[in-house]
Amino acid sequence: MEDSVRIIQAVGAFKLDLAEVQRPDDALDRLGLVDEAVDGGLEHTIAYRNLAAVAAHEGRRKEALEYYRKAWRLADRDLNMFTEFDRFLASQGLHQERLKVYAQLPADARDRSMVALRRVPQLLDTENYDDALAELSVRTFLAGEGQER
């Protein structure tokens, strides 16, 4: 039971924003708990996402990529995870993988503004200029995702 509580705390409490950490060691302690939980068999999007973000921040790009891929597989096509994963893939020049990740999104998700804001750069980065123009031509971009279209 105590291990379960620690895993939940690790996943729920770990923040990359160090302003929310009271002591410098707190972030490392929390990251250690997340890493320990993953090593212990925890399969959770947020855990892998956090490990990916830290690995990327520390310059461990290959490790970050593997963590992001695991997070995406577990994310159930979450649009926030899509956005973050796409940004990371773009920073690594992995544009063909970006297109594959986009193709995994359900059709209704592809209509969302937050997805379109990532789709246009994908198309430009892969030199699909006509498709990028078409994407921009048919979109109505909203000030906020929650607003009615």
User: What tens digit of pLDDT does each residue of 89-111 get?
Assistant: 999 999 999 999 999 999 999 98
Q: Are 79 and 109 in contact (CB under 8 A)?
A: yes
Tell me the two tokens of residue 138.
Answer: 């048919």
pLDDT tens for 1-56 read: 444 444 444 545 444 443 444 444 554 555 565 566 556 566 778 888 888 888 88
Are 105 and 74 a contacting pair, CB within 8 Å?
Answer: no
Q: Which amino acid is at 12?
A: G
Residue type, 34: V
